[in-house]
Homo-oligomer: A and B are copies of this chain.
Amino acid sequence: MQFDALSTPALMLDRNILLRNVAAMSARMKENGVALRPHLKTSKSADVARLATNGHSGAITVSTLAEAAYFLGKGFTDITYAVGFVPSKAPQAAALIAQGAKLNLVTDSLAAAQAMTAIEGDAVFPMLVEIDCGDNRAGVLADGPELLDIAQAIHEATNMELVGVMTHAGHSYGASNIAGVKAIAEDERSAVVHAATRLRNAGLPCPIVSAGSTPTAMYAEHFEGLTEMRPGVYMFQDLTQLSRGVCQRGDLALSVLASVIGHNRHAGHILLDSGALALSKDIGANAAWPDTGYGDVCDLTMQPFEGLYVSQVSQEHGIVPISDDSAFSRIPVGSKVRIAPNHACITAAAYSSYNIVEGDRVVDEWDRVNGW
């Protein structure tokens, strides 16, 4: 099928770029002797998960229990749900465990760990303690008192099993260059390894020592003491990663196919049928590249039209300002363009499936799971 047969907006995933991206990360993790537990929060797709885990154990990371249920249904049994768990979600988690999932849960809260002990039923929940390695989002400090209190409470409970520690250097997305990423990668590694050492010194089990973000997985100097990495967006990459130098333009696997629906000559802009829902309102690349707006406008081969970007979005409209009228003839009304999005994870979430692209043809359609 040619692109012209697709109704717009449509989500496009370039299979060859995807294959290259997952192969590179797979090889890097193997070379470094670290298990790869890819994060499927970006793709939410079993087809992508099969490629990303190829040659590895099949272990995966998810961001919602809906993803966990979907991937379990597709045969993935070793799953880490990497968002802080609370007992009110125990019925869903217990059901997945009963269906055969080895479902690792995460907490950074003594209160949550203590409340878990009151959950009724047969399920034994594998638990990871989350460490804050400098991201300042979730997690306890690796050298603070809470770590051992939480780990001890989990270890003593009859319905939980302490399986280790995990961290996520989300602040690596904000590094302005690769030297900055390398420094954050070392902070990430050393924090979670230090936490693991404290647990073991206290006589507590810690088989899993888990870290990972795409920038730190790609650029860490070494992974000593880590048992696994959990990168995710590397599979697709996006303008946010590109703007930080984490990837090259040719690594962008995801795009949105849009139609030109109007030329506003009095206002000096081109109108696309892809707006806040089709692209998302994420503007992550703008911190480094202010003229990225909601995405770069590219031709059907993903070559950027110089100077053309989506500057404003409303629900179903994207506005592309132009500096001179020649842009009107380059992308006439009715023509199609491809938009490189800021943040693949957020843009993809508006779609229920991927159009799988090879060159100028759509060769397949892959589903994805949304919601919670």
Show the binding face of A for B, using Cβ within 8 Å.
Answer: 4, 7-10, 41, 63-65, 83-89, 92, 107-109, 111-112, 115, 132, 136-141, 144, 146, 170, 259-267, 271, 273, 276-278, 280-283, 312, 314-317, 319, 332-334, 336, 345-346, 349-352, 370-372
- Across the interface, A9 reaches (CB within 8 A) one of B138, B271, B334, B372, namely B372
Closest to A107 in B: B262
Q: List 17 A-B contacts (CB under 8 A).
A: A4-B88, A7-B88, A7-B89, A8-B89, A9-B372, A83-B316, A83-B317, A85-B261, A86-B261, A108-B262, A109-B263, A111-B332, A111-B333, A111-B334, A137-B271, A277-B349, A350-B370
Please measure, in the bound complex, the distance between the C-alpha atom of A4 and the C-alpha atom of B351, giving whole angstroms: 29
Closest to A352 in B: B371
| A157 vs chain B, min Cβ distance (A) | 16
Given contacts A9-B372, A41-B315, contact A334 B86 (CB under 8 A): yes
Please measure, in the bound complex, the distance between the C-alpha atom of A41 and the C-alpha atom of B277, giving whole angstroms: 11
Does B63 lie within 8 Å of A334, measured CB to CB?
Answer: no
Does A138 lie within 8 Å of B264, measured CB to CB?
Answer: yes
Please measure, in the bound complex, the distance between the C-alpha atom of A278 and the C-alpha atom of B263, giving whole angstroms: 34
| A3 vs chain B, min Cβ distance (A) | 10
Does B281 lie within 8 Å of A86, measured CB to CB?
Answer: no
Does B92 lie within 8 Å of A317, measured CB to CB?
Answer: no
Given contacts A4-B88, A7-B89, A281-B346, contact A63 B259 (CB under 8 A): no
Given contacts A346-B277, A372-B8, contact A319 B282 (CB under 8 A): no
Which 3 pairs across A and B sit closest by C-beta, in order of nearness?
A84-B261, A281-B281, A111-B333
A interface: dominant SS: loop
Please measure, in the bound complex, the distance between the C-alpha atom of A316 and the C-alpha atom of B149, giving whole angstroms: 26
> Which B residues lie within 8 Å of A132 (CB)?
264, 266-267
Does A280 lie within 8 Å of B278, measured CB to CB?
Answer: no
> Which B residues lie within 8 Å of A141 (CB)?
266
Closest to A284 in B: B281
Please measure, in the bound complex, the distance between the C-alpha atom of A111 and the C-alpha atom of B370, giving whole angstroms: 38
Does B83 lie within 8 Å of A138, measured CB to CB?
Answer: no
| A285 vs chain B, min Cβ distance (A) | 13
Given contacts A109-B262, A281-B280, contact A138 B271 (CB under 8 A): yes
Please measure, in the bound complex, the distance between the C-alpha atom of A85 and the C-alpha atom of B317, giving whole angstroms: 12
Closest to A92 in B: B7
Given contacts A7-B89, A263-B109, contact A315 B63 (CB under 8 A): yes
